[in-house]
Structure 1
């Protein structure tokens, strides 16, 4: 790997660091999926996703080594028991890849505008392109197998119209206007994430080694179920379908599969994705009741994430990301 005279910026270093840790986690999960999946087409998608994650960590390791930056510990084969019994169905594995690919698209798209150095810019540009290809492949297979949960249809507008009443924004006397297309899209997206979290919470609680981690996973599952009820109610009141549960795709094994450290990090990662999704949903919602619900649910996720971080810190599981220099501390130590 060529060493550049231009030093990495805070954005470049931090994004590479975060990508390395997240992809090292994905490698553990996807290796297990590859081991248990019986459907050849789903296994092919998982192998594609695994290959991309492995490429990412190798490229970041090369960049960090060239820059004499410590490579994060992240996650290794020690964090997964590849000989564990089947915990997830094949279809769940495909849904998981789809949801994580969608999260990757959002994260990578937000990273690119902050990158300037050519090698890092090239890395994230290729990463975004390959993630788009994986997303397309996953969607196609979900459609072919009848597993896709597409956002519902709404009528085509018959003419151009303008808004003339503030009731479009505010809920007066409990009478709300119909949902807009983007509001429906965000509700479905957040529902899909919550459905996945509820299933993962169940699976992780069954297989966690620590009582503390087990209770945290069950708490995450219960929070996700509450959010599912809130979002589903909006769709049901509009006579629109809501995504279904993945709970039936979790087997009854309690054998340890992933390390408690990995499962806690995974929930931290999904919480971060949820915070971003809810923030975007707030900015794109024009109904006051939706904004209020997103706002209070966002606070709940933030509190849940904080408690998870405290558990990880107390157990020595939370790696410190690249940080700015504490000038005040340096001055005091002189």
Structure 2
């Protein structure tokens, strides 16, 4: 056996995807660090930036060792720090927290698709890094009063088992069928959906008011309406249970209309959020046992998928979608 085996197709794929995501995050962090008003927030983002730079360098090194072309990803040309603030009131850390949540899922999955020890360790380290900064950002937002905890519930004193099929009820076909109260698993996923869409809504509103291309601007406005609709529907589920629905207490878009990022970067970031939404909604569907919830979640999934597909077409039309490495076409 050679000292270091060649990388496999799945390892190449995970490295390529990680490079795309990390170079995008670096560009966004460069802008947020420059515009940060809060010193602690700047310290968190600066520390994260320095560590991510190291890992991007490691990925480049592996590509070079394998004589593979370095992906374009996102470069300093995709960010302009010398423009007014596009977001205010803690949005920078809200964004970093959500992007680290996305990264945790990505790296954990990537870890299962790698075989070579150095790449496996790389993904494991990135997973740990994402977990670390997710915790840091969570504590920061809690201290600033910018993050709402999930509702509290009395601790169970006995173990209960489902006694009949009415536990799964909830569809409107039988008006006399009473819906049971939501369980804690369902509330957790509903609240997570509201929280993620509130942050995504503020992000996409900011993107909409500064995008240069008219078609891109329209696309972002459509995304804002989609996020609003999801937040409204999920919030109604909480209100029906007499539970407080989380609301955004920060992270507002300013009135600036000057883009700090290229349309290409903003489209990719939105695409990444859509992918996260699809995965998160699917997970919520799997763990929701009241029949009306999977039906609602499935509609969200359909709407988000169609929106993401429309965005992909815009990226292709403008030459913004970098193509992942392809397998050999033996027919040719």
Q: Which residue of 2 aligns with 1:155?
A: 154
Q: 1:4 to 1:220 in 2, by over 3 A?
A: farther
| Residues 13 and 325, structure 2, Cα contact 8 Å, conserved in 1 | yes
1:86-116 C-alpha deviation (Å, 9 max, x unpaired):
1111411111111111111121112212211
Q: Which residue of 2 aligns with 1:132?
A: 131
| Residues 201 and 227, structure 2, Cα contact 8 Å, conserved in 1 | yes
Task: State the 1:137 CA deviation.
Answer: 1.4
| Residues 27 and 53, structure 1, Cα contact 8 Å, conserved in 2 | yes
- More helix as a share of residues: 1
Q: Which residue of 1 aligns with 2:78?
A: 79
| Residues 92 and 246, structure 1, Cα contact 8 Å, conserved in 2 | no
Task: State the 1:144 CA deviation.
Answer: 2.0
TM-score (ref. length: structure 2): 0.95
1:239 and 1:100 map into 2 onto residues whose CA distance is: 31
Q: Which residue of 1 aligns with 2:56?
A: 57
1:322 and 1:153 map into 2 onto residues whose CA distance is: 47
1:54 and 1:248 map into 2 onto residues whose CA distance is: 26
Q: Which residue of 2 aligns with 1:181?
A: 184
| Residues 169 and 178, structure 2, Cα contact 8 Å, conserved in 1 | no
1:279 aligns with one of 275, 282, 290: 282
1:300 and 1:87 map into 2 onto residues whose CA distance is: 27
Task: State the 1:245 CA deviation.
Answer: 2.9
Aligned residues: 327
Q: Which residue of 2 aligns with 1:224?
A: 227
Task: State the 1:323 CA deviation.
Answer: 2.0
1:102-147 C-alpha deviation (Å, 9 max, x unpaired):
1111211122122111010110111111212112211222222222
1:325 and 1:241 map into 2 onto residues whose CA distance is: 54
Q: Report 1:67-216 matches (<5 A).
A: 67-171=66-170, 172-173=174-175, 175-216=178-219
1:244 and 1:51 map into 2 onto residues whose CA distance is: 32
2:77 and 2:108 map into 1 onto residues whose CA distance is: 31
Moved more, 258-267 or 166-175: 166-175
Give secondary structure in 1 for the equivalent of 2:268.
helix
1:67 and 1:316 map into 2 onto residues whose CA distance is: 27
1:52 and 1:215 map into 2 onto residues whose CA distance is: 36
Task: State the 1:212 CA deviation.
Answer: 0.4
2:248 aligns with one of 242, 245, 248: 245
TM-score (ref. length: structure 1): 0.94
Q: 1:6 to 1:254 in 2, by over 3 A?
A: same
1:295 aligns with 2:298: yes
1:304 aligns with one of 307, 311, 316: 307
Task: State the 1:248 CA deviation.
Answer: 6.5
Moved more, 73-82 or 48-57: 48-57
Gaps of 5+ in 2: none
Q: 1:101 to 1:248 in 2, by over 3 A?
A: closer
2:167 and 2:315 map into 1 onto residues whose CA distance is: 44
Q: Which residue of 2 aligns with 1:233?
A: 236
| Residues 213 and 260, structure 1, Cα contact 8 Å, conserved in 2 | yes
Give secondary structure in 2 for the equivalent of 1:249.
coil
Q: CA RMSD in A?
A: 1.5
1:151 and 1:119 map into 2 onto residues whose CA distance is: 39
